[in-house]
């Protein structure tokens, strides 16, 4: 006898995430920089005598300085860091906005959102400009913290600069290290973006920012038709 198929899962409802502020990662969340990251880090890896296929997966959501420190002996680190910073900025002109990023950030009230990135200030500025995403008043970069993601320093500092309680913030991330940083600082919720975020414990995961909207103030509404 053939067993009956299981009943279909009930449809998901849109989910509202109350927030006083929204803290966005940059790469993979607001800007699609994956191709430029692969190009820059592959070039750098070959010059260092390293396998790009082993290096590139290590760099997402991580400060370049931390990656260089892990892969290059101390005498060569300064020069290696200077090269990768230059290669990434050279490739920044090729990045585009993640779908929905421009509309979502424009809909948020000024002073109620920030960018927290593992990139340098020069790199974040170049990538946001190339993607057409207007930078907010608060942008926390690798230059502003002693410890990068997964340490919570960047998200804590962004909330302080906005003048809001970090526990009332929603973080939007794509990488495991960024989600871990958000969890460590105790934010209200984490929205994951893209397939990479399915490997994290983000509360919800959207394909891109077209599936998120402003419900009111800084509150986010996440569509029913999402990845998770």
| For the chain, domain boundaries | 15-33+94-222, 35-93
- Find the mean pLDDT for residues 109-128: 97
> Between the CA of residue 168 and those of 20, 27, 141, 151, what are the distances in Å?
6, 23, 21, 19
Angle at 109 between CA 189 and CA 151, to 5 degrees: 40
pTM, whole model, 2 decimals?
0.90
For domain 15-33+94-222, give the fold: Rossmann fold (3.40.50)
Q: How far apart are CA 196 and CA 190, in angstroms?
A: 14
pLDDT tier at 10 (50, 70, 90 boundaries)? low
Buried/exposed code over 167-177 (b: 16+ C-beta within 10 A; e: otherwise):
eebbbbbbbbb
Q: How far apart are CA 185 and CA 181, in angstroms?
A: 6
The catalytic site residues sit at 25, 27
pLDDT tier at 130 (50, 70, 90 boundaries)? very high
């Amino acid at each position: 006898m053939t067993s009956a198929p299981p009943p279909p899962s009930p449809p998901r409802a849109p989910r509202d995430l109350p927030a006083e502020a929204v803290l966005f990662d940059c790469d993979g969340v607001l800007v699609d920089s994956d191709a430029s990251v692969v190009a820059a880090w592959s070039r750098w890896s070959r010059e260092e005598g390293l396998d790009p296929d082993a290096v590139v997966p290590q760099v997402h959501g991580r400060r370049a300085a931390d990656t260089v420190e892990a892969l290059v002996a101390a005498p060569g680190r300064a020069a290696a860091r200077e090269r990768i910073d230059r290669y990434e900025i050279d490739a920044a002109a090729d990045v585009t906005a993640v779908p929905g990023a421009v509309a979502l950030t424009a809909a948020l009230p000024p002073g109620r959102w920030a960018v927290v990135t593992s990139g340098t200030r020069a790199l974040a500025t170049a990538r946001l400009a190339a993607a057409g995403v207007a930078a907010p008043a608060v942008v926390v970069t690798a230059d502003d913290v002693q410890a990068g993601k997964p340490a919570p320093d960047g998200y804590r500092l962004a909330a302080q600069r906005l003048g809001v309680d970090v526990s009332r913030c929603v973080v939007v991330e794509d990488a495991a290290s960024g989600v871990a940083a958000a969890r460590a600082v105790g934010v209200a919720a984490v929205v994951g973006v893209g397939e990479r975020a399915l490997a994290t414990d983000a509360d919800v995961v959207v394909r891109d920012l077209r599936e998120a909207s402003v419900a009111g103030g800084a509150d986010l509404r996440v569509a029913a038709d999402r990845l998770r």
